[in-house]
């Protein structure tokens, strides 16, 4: 039983290759966060080592321990600690050393390189040879959000399998096994097609709570005075210096809410992401022109770009806050 939700094409491809003994030695799974890349990679590793009839059975000792990350022949290579930003060359050297030895107890050694875009240049290049001609029985799976962030020489040595966001109804259906209809619908929509997020949010109520707090903060800013906005900008900027990722998440939430407002204004309400906020958003939209909304989304994207380019985050956020359009003062159409 393949545990991964959706992605029939990808699963079909792998299953077929597996059954026909035509599995490639290197794969790259590309797709947004939480879309199911790791789940699929683990599943594939299980299928390769499964002792059961219908591979992967998910129940034999091999499948079980691979699933729990406790199998000696299935290694996940990832950025080693919070302080590091790259997967270093030493990690690849270790991979290479380990790859020349036969599996410890399974049938195949599987190396999963998570966030492959974080491979340092040296590490990527070091990996090339192994990626092109790994020892027999070794499978290397790279995971990345965007193939453009990888060296072309890496790409051309992998079979690329794209995992696109899933249809929302499919995620909803899966969620219904564990959640009420209301919750399932909301989470499915909020996940933007990435089931991993929805299931994490289902398990950990803090995720939704934190999101709600952020949203409240954002919505407050729309009517806030300049002092509040500046202090919000200052806070965001200090969060940015602590964790860029977190600050970008907040910025994403801004974008997502404003995009919803754009859709509401454009009378395409059925496609909005944040359905739990629909009423409040509908109220907020009143008084903005669609041009204002579009303009501010562009400012948000500009801010995003500037932050990526290491602009002074404080200034970027301040300018952004000053740029929030004023309601109801639009010039007459």
Partner 1 sequence: MTSQVFYRKWRPQTLGEVVGQEHVTRTLENALLMGRVAHAYLFCGPRGTGKTSTGRILAKAVNCLGGGRGEPCNTCSMCQAITEGRALDVIEVDAASNRGIDEIRDLREKVRFAPNMARYKVYIIDEVHMLTEPASNALLKTLEEPPPYVIFILATTAPHKVATTILSRCQRFDFRRLTQDAIAGKLEHICEREGIRIEPEALRLIARSATGSLRDAENILEQLYAYYGTDISLPQVRALLGISGDPRAHEVARYILSRDVTAGLRTINSVVADGLDLRQFNRELVEYLRMILLVKSGSEVAVDLTQEELEDVKSICATSSTEQILKAAKLFGGIDLRLDSYSPLPLELALVECALEEGRPPPPDAKQPEREAPEIEPKPIDRAPTEGKTYPPNVEYLRQNWGRAVEALRGVGSKGNLDAFLRNACEPVGLEDDTIILGFYYEFHKEKIEDPKYCHLVEEKLSEVFGQPYKIRCTLIGKERRPPSRGHLVKAAMEMGAMIIEPEEG
Partner 2 sequence: MGIVGRAVATRPTLPITGNVLLSTDGGRLKLAATNLEVAISSWVGAEIEEEGAITIPARLLTDFINTLPNDRVDISLLPRASVLELRCARYEARISGMDVEDFPPIPTPTPGLEARLDPEELRAAISRVAFAAATEETRPVLTGVQAEFEGDTITFAAADGFRLAVYKAPSLSPVAEREVVIIPARTLGELSRLVASEEEPVELVINPQRSQMLVRLKDIELVSQLIQGTFPNYSQLIPQSYGTRAVVDASEFLRATRTASIFARDGSSIIRLQITPGEGGMAGRVTISARAEEVGDNIGEIDAIVDGDEAKIAFNSRYLTDVLSVLHGGNVALEITSPSSPGVIRPTASDNYVHVVMPMFVQW
Residues 40-69 binding partner 2 (CB under 8 A) are: 65, 68
Residues 49-88 binding partner 1 (CB under 8 A) are: none
Q: Pairing state of beta strands 109-113 and 138-144?
A: parallel
Residue 16 touching partner 1 (CB under 8 A): yes
When CB distances are held under 5 to 8 angstroms depending on the partner's kind, the choice from partner 2, partner 1, none that residue 97 binds is partner 2
Contact pattern from residue 150 through residue 189 relative to partner 1, giving x for each residue in contact according to CB under 8 A and a dash for the rest: --xx--xxxxx-x-xxxxx---------------------
Residues 76-135 binding partner 2 (CB under 8 A) are: 93-94, 96-105, 135
Residue whose C-alpha is closest to residue 123's, from 241, 131, 60: 131
Would you say the C-alpha torsion 148, 151, 153, 159 has a positive or negative sign? negative
Residue 307 touching partner 1 (CB under 8 A): no
SS3 76: strand
Q: Of the two residues 101 and 226, which places its CB atom closer to partner 1 in the complex?
A: 226
Phi/psi-derived region of residue 52, left when phi > 0, alpha when psi is between -120 and 50, beta in every other case? beta
Q: How far apart are CA 35 and CA 128, in angstroms?
A: 26
When CB distances are held under 5 to 8 angstroms depending on the partner's kind, the choice from partner 1, partner 2, none that residue 70 binds is partner 2
The pair phi, psi for residue 139, each rounded to 5°, is -120, 135
Residue 143 touching partner 1 (CB under 8 A): no
Least Å from the CB of residue 17 to partner 2: 22
When CB distances are held under 5 to 8 angstroms depending on the partner's kind, the choice from partner 2, partner 1, none that residue 271 binds is partner 1
SS3 149: helix
Distance of CA 61 to the CA centre of its chain: 30
Q: How far apart are CA 201 and CA 206, in angstroms?
A: 8
When CB distances are held under 5 to 8 angstroms depending on the partner's kind, the choice from partner 2, partner 1, none that residue 32 binds is partner 1
Q: How far apart are CA 8 and CA 194, in angstroms?
A: 15
Contact pattern from residue 132 through residue 171 relative to partner 2, giving x for each residue in contact according to CB under 8 A and a dash for the rest: ---xxx----------------------------------
């Amino acid at each position: 039983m393949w545990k991964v939700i959706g992605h029939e094409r990808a699963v079909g491809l792998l299953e077929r290759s597996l059954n026909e003994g035509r599995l490639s030695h290197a794969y790259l799974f590309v797709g947004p966060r939480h879309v199911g890349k790791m789940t699929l990679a683990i599943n594939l590793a299980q299928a390769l080592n499964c002792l059961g009839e219908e591979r992967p059975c998910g129940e034999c000792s091999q499948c079980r321990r691979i699933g729990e990350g406790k199998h000696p022949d299935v290694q996940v290579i990832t950025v080693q600690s919070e302080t590091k930003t790259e997967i270093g060359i030493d990690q690849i050297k270790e991979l290479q050393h380990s790859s020349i030895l036969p599996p410890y107890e399974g049938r195949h050694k599987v190396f999963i390189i998570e966030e492959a875009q974080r491979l340092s240049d040296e590490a990527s290049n070091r990996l090339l040879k192994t990626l092109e001609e790994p020892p027999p029985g070794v499978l290397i799976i790279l995971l990345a959000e965007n193939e453009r962030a990888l060296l072309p020489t890496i790409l051309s040595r992998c079979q690329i399998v794209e995992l696109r966001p899933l249809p929302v109804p499919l995620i909803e259906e899966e969620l219904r096994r564990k959640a009420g209809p209301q919750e399932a619908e909301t989470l499915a929509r909020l996940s933007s097609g990435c089931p991993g997020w929805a299931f994490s949010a289902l398990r950990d109520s803090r995720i939704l709570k934190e999101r709600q707090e952020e949203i409240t903060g954002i919505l407050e800013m729309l009517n806030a005075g300049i002092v509040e906005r500046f202090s919000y900008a200052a806070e965001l900027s200090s969060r940015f210096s602590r964790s860029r990722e977190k600050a970008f998440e907040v910025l994403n939430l801004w974008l997502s809410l404003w995009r919803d407002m754009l859709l509401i204004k454009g009378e395409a309400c059925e496609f909005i992401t944040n359905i739990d906020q629909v009423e409040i958003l509908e109220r907020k939209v009143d008084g903005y022109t669609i041009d204002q909304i579009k303009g501010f989304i562009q400012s948000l994207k500009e801010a995003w770009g500037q932050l990526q380019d290491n602009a002074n985050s404080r200034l970027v956020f301040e300018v952004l806050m000053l740029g929030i359009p004023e309601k109801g003062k639009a010039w007459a159409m």
